[in-house]
Amino acid sequence: MSYCRQEGKDRIIFVTKEDHETPSSAELVADDPNDPYEDQGLILPNGDINWNCPCLGGMASGPCGEQFKSAFSCFHYSTEEIKGSDCVDQFRAMQECMQKYPDLYPQEDDEERENQSKDLETTPTEAAVAKEEKGSS
């Protein structure tokens, strides 16, 4: 016999093996292609930008989210011969904002320096072993 129990905000439903053996009678609702919250990719069917797209990596919601949205929108809707050439000011504002938060938005130069310093931290013995392993393969 199946039953349901409420614990605070949670609703716990216990079902029997027999409950699982009967086919579900639930009807699935077709996806709405105009629903902006559906996983539609970066550009929605109507041409708008999907700011909820995981492909943006949270850039639209961070401390520089407004600057990012402004620059990205400008580029997306740009009609200039060289696309985005009219968006230099917006991209500059975004870059200036990102420089204020180096922990959130590391510069490529910073990442390269970190990788180089990690390479330098490798001991001579580790480097020799790595060379030998490459040579023997």
The residue type at 128: A
1-23 pLDDT, tens digit per residue, is 677 888 888 888 787 888 778 77
Structure token digits, residue 122: 């490798």
Q: Taking 70 as the threshold, does the pLDDT of residue 34 lie above it? A: no
Q: Would you place residue 75 in the very low, low, confident or very high pLDDT band (cuts 50, 70, 90)?
A: very high
Higher pLDDT, 58 or 113: 58
Structure token digits, residue 12: 């716990």
* Element at 111 (helix H, strand E): helix 108-121
How far is the C-alpha of 70 from the C-alpha of 55, rounded, in Å?
A: 17
